[in-house]
Amino acid sequence: MGDWHPESPARLQAIEDQLIASGLSSLLVRRDAPLASTAQIERVHQSCALSAVRDALPGPGGYHPIDADTLLNEHSWLAALRAAGAAIAATDAVMAGEFANAFCAIRPPGHHARPSTPMGFCLFNNIAIAARHALDVHGLDRVAIVDFDVHHGNGTEEAFSGDPRVLMTSFFQHPLYPYSGVEKSGALLSNMINLPVPAYTRGETIRDLVQAHWLPALHAHRPQMIFISAGFDAHREDDIANLGLVEADFAWITSRIVDIATEHAQGRIVSCLEGGYNLSALGRSVVAHLRSLASLG
Ligand SMILES: [Zn+2]
């Protein structure tokens, strides 16, 4: 999105570096991501959201702003299709029993992308597209989406609010972009467990909230598959926001999600990278997340 932008290719390089340094790299089975089809994207997005990307691509070297923080370059359409395609392919592989779970190291992220429009660094809502794929193509009746990015996943909420097949649990710093997720009631929000927390909230408080609010709701929902919007910008070293989580907190949260998946979902989890902009903290946190997904302790 431009050399100044925190959502940069260096993020995936930082993850790769830490996977190598940790020794985890050699234990992973890797797949390249296919492109999603427009029909798969349209399970979540209106045609105007697709055309906002496809029909607005600038020429070589140029940038087209969708909003102040969200820009397109000449490659953005294919990059967005490939990010969503990874989430779909991971869902297919996990449903086929090839893997218990999968992590998609993808960008651009997705959870702010609304059905009608890209926003907030996000072009298409990768996690929502994968969840709809699991429901519509694989015929699942109940899925859960767990979002631990520091920002509220407004696009995902908009895609699924009021849909009893989907339980979404999240915490997020509030007030903070996109300033949503704090409406208190209404039938459309009955499947949303939103936990807004103030700046400087630390990991132990987050763990207590997860224990008290997420886990009972997840057990009651009995999801057949769990999707994780895995943002690591709640890390205390990440300056895009002001929460105080560390790698061990991401590991703990992930292990609780693995517990739920093991009990209700045959272990099935697809996790997709969302935010995380301090490169060192991002790489270390992804390693902690993957160790927990692999139950390596
Ligand atoms: Zn974020």
Length of the chain: 297
Structure confidence at residue 183 (pLDDT): 84
**Which of 45, 111, 112, 133 does the annotation list as catalytic?**
112
Average pLDDT of span 9-33:
97
Distance in Å, CA 187 to ligand 1 centroid = 26
Does residue 24 surpass a pLDDT of 80?
Answer: yes
Distance in Å, CA 185 to ligand 1 centroid = 24
Omega before residue 164 within 30° of 0, cis: no
* All residues at 6 or more sequence positions from 232 whose CB lies less than 8 Å from its CB, including other chains: 149, 238, 250, 275, 276, 281, 282, 285, 286, 289
Structure confidence at residue 297 (pLDDT): 65
Average pLDDT of span 126-139:
98
Structure confidence at residue 188 (pLDDT): 79
Q: pLDDT band at residue 185, thresholds of 50, 70 and 90?
A: confident
Q: Helical H runs in the chain?
A: 10-22, 38-41, 47-54, 76-95, 126-136, 154-160, 203-209, 215-221, 247-264, 279-293
| 198 token code pair | 């103030």
| 258 token code pair | 């693995």
Q: Confirm if 124 and 44 have CB atoms less than 8 A apart.
A: yes
Distance in Å, CA 97 to ligand 1 centroid = 30
Average pLDDT of span 37-65:
98
Average pLDDT of span 68-93:
98
Phi, psi of 215, rounded to the nearest 5 degrees: -65, -45
The question of whether 235 is a catalytic residue gets the answer no
Does residue 184 surpass a pLDDT of 80?
Answer: no
The DSSP H or E segment spanning 39 is helix 38-41
Distance in Å, CA 151 to ligand 1 centroid = 4
Share of the chain above pLDDT 70, in %: 100
Distance in Å, CA 14 to ligand 1 centroid = 17
Q: Confirm if 254 and 297 have CB atoms less than 8 A apart.
A: no
Q: What is the mean pLDDT of the chain?
A: 97
pTM over 0.95: yes
